[in-house]
Structure 1
Amino acid sequence: MSAPKSIYQIKVTLNDSKPPIWRRVLVEDKTTLSKLHTILQTVMGWTDSHLHHFIINDEFYGEPDDDEFSGIETKNEKRYRLNQFVKRKGFKFIYEYDFGDSWEHIVHVEAILPVEKGRQYPVCLEGKRACPLEDIGGVWGYDDFLKALADPKHPEHDDMVEELGEDFDPEFFDIEDVNLGLRNYAARARMTKK
């Protein structure tokens, strides 16, 4: 496989999250959409337990077997690379994860940068707030959950604390843990090339 020609600085924001839940990441221009899915799962903190797709220029890209569930013609994400779509900074597209909860992420290409020799990609530069819990009912379910967690008088407060423990902090984002996950991903990807 050829070396990347450039690096994309992308900002991934969970749509409708207030305050925003987001990550800023550097990825190679030659990254396939399939690999980008894994990168996004890692940086956001999802568990890859549900279906997903990308919506780019009004076309759907994902795992082709998903067609029977969604009824939408889906192009094989393994066959498409970011550099086939991204021609300028400012380009945006959608990554949707878990069609039941409908976690819609806006992926915004903030910059197109030169490759830094010796730097490992992908890498997370920064982010804000914890990833929502899986199967919580989407952005609105997560908002209801946070209200219950914050209010000791809420009828569901005690159940939430018992389920999660008292240490859950919706403001916490562990960039070191995220980058460890990305390094592990990159190491696995290198092993599969051999």
Structure 2
Amino acid sequence: MVYKFRVILDAEEDIFRDIAIQDDDSLEDFHNAIVNAFGFDGNEMASFYTCDDQWNQEDEISLFDSGDVPGEQKIMSDYQLSEMLDQENTKIIYVYDFLNMWTFLVELAAIEEPEAGASYPDLLFSHGEMPASAGDRSFESEEMRDDIYGEFEDDLDEDDLDMFDDNDNFEDYGFEENWN
């Protein structure tokens, strides 16, 4: 069988890719298909996360074994797609590059017979341009921006900032200069 997924970047703009992949391919194969579909170089760590119907993150399935005991932790290559997803369990979260936290909501849209002559995985549809970084968000108005950032504004005056001028006076902070 062929699984058809919609992979949506968790961003302000609508950016998604539709990918078809065989149900007996591994999560690692699916990871590679996502990396290619979104134009990443594939050199960063990534994980899938099981989730509930409301996208609440549950168990991690990483690309590499990062456990204390080698071989104890199951990784992407250990799971076939059909073991993780089916008609009742259609959602999974994918995170690529833990420094930038590219986060994707992945939903199984259809399970179909393979098309004769088609090769899988296959990028079926692409919508939207990837932003320069995962944190790029465009806020529509200054008022909206102020609503979001206003709660973090401080009412510090110059006298409050003077305490940071003398970085060598650590006794005032309750620890010694050579604390480690």
Same fold, TM exceeding 0.5?
A: yes
Give the paired residue count: 129
* 8 Å Cα contact 1:89/1:109 also seen in 2: no
Alignment partners' CA distance in 2, 1:67 and 1:94: 21
The equivalent of 2:2 in structure 1 is: 7
Judging changes above 3 Å, is the alpha-carbon distance between structure 1 residues 113 and 89 closer, same or farther for their aligned structure 2 residues? farther
Alignment partners' CA distance in 2, 1:100 and 1:18: 19
Structure (1 or 2) with the larger CA radius of gyration: 2
* 8 Å Cα contact 1:66/1:74 also seen in 2: yes
* 8 Å Cα contact 2:96/2:102 also seen in 1: yes
Alignment partners' CA distance in 1, 2:7 and 2:66: 23
Residue of 30, 38, 48 corresponding to 1:36:
30
Alignment partners' CA distance in 1, 2:128 and 2:43: 21
**What is the DSSP-based 3-state SS (H/G/I as helix, E as strand, rest coil) of the residue aligned with 1:64?**
coil
CA deviation profile, 1:38-72 (whole Å, cap 9, x unmatched): 1100001111132110002422112334447xxxx
* 8 Å Cα contact 1:63/1:75 also seen in 2: no
Q: 2:77 corresponds to which letter in structure 1?
A: K
CA deviation profile, 1:57-103 (whole Å, cap 9, x unmatched): 422112334447xxxx9521111010002220670100101112111
* 8 Å Cα contact 1:90/1:111 also seen in 2: no
Out of 73-82 and 104-113, give the one that drifted further: 73-82
**What is the DSSP-based 3-state SS (H/G/I as helix, E as strand, rest coil) of the residue aligned with 1:56?**
strand
Judging changes above 3 Å, is the alpha-carbon distance between structure 1 residues 67 and 104 closer, same or farther for their aligned structure 2 residues? farther
Unaligned residue ranges in structure 2 (runs of 5+): 52-57, 139-180
The equivalent of 1:76 in structure 2 is: 75
**How do residues 1-194 of structure 1 correspond to structure 2 at under 5 angstroms?**
6-15=1-10, 17-57=11-51, 58-67=58-67, 75-88=74-87, 91-133=90-132, 136=133, 138=134, 140=135, 142-143=136-137
Q: 1:64 corresponds to which letter in structure 2?
A: F
* 8 Å Cα contact 2:6/2:108 also seen in 1: yes
* 8 Å Cα contact 2:4/2:110 also seen in 1: yes
CA deviation profile, 1:8-36 (whole Å, cap 9, x unmatched): 11000001x12211001111101101111
CA RMSD of aligned residues (A): 2.0
Alignment partners' CA distance in 2, 1:44 and 1:113: 24
Normalised to the residue count of structure 1, the TM-score between the two structures is 0.60
**What is the DSSP-based 3-state SS (H/G/I as helix, E as strand, rest coil) of the residue aligned with 2:41?**
coil
Unaligned residue ranges in structure 1 (runs of 5+): 1-5, 145-194
Q: 2:9 corresponds to which letter in structure 1?
A: L
* 8 Å Cα contact 2:65/2:74 also seen in 1: no
Alignment partners' CA distance in 2, 1:117 and 1:93: 28
Alignment partners' CA distance in 1, 2:65 and 2:83: 23
Alignment partners' CA distance in 2, 1:90 and 1:112: 12
Judging changes above 3 Å, is the alpha-carbon distance between structure 1 residues 90 and 128 closer, same or farther for their aligned structure 2 residues? farther
Q: Of Structure 1 and Structure 2, which has the larger fraction of its residues in helix?
A: 1
Alignment partners' CA distance in 2, 1:116 and 1:12: 21
Normalised to the residue count of structure 2, the TM-score between the two structures is 0.65
**What is the DSSP-based 3-state SS (H/G/I as helix, E as strand, rest coil) of the residue aligned with 2:114?**
coil
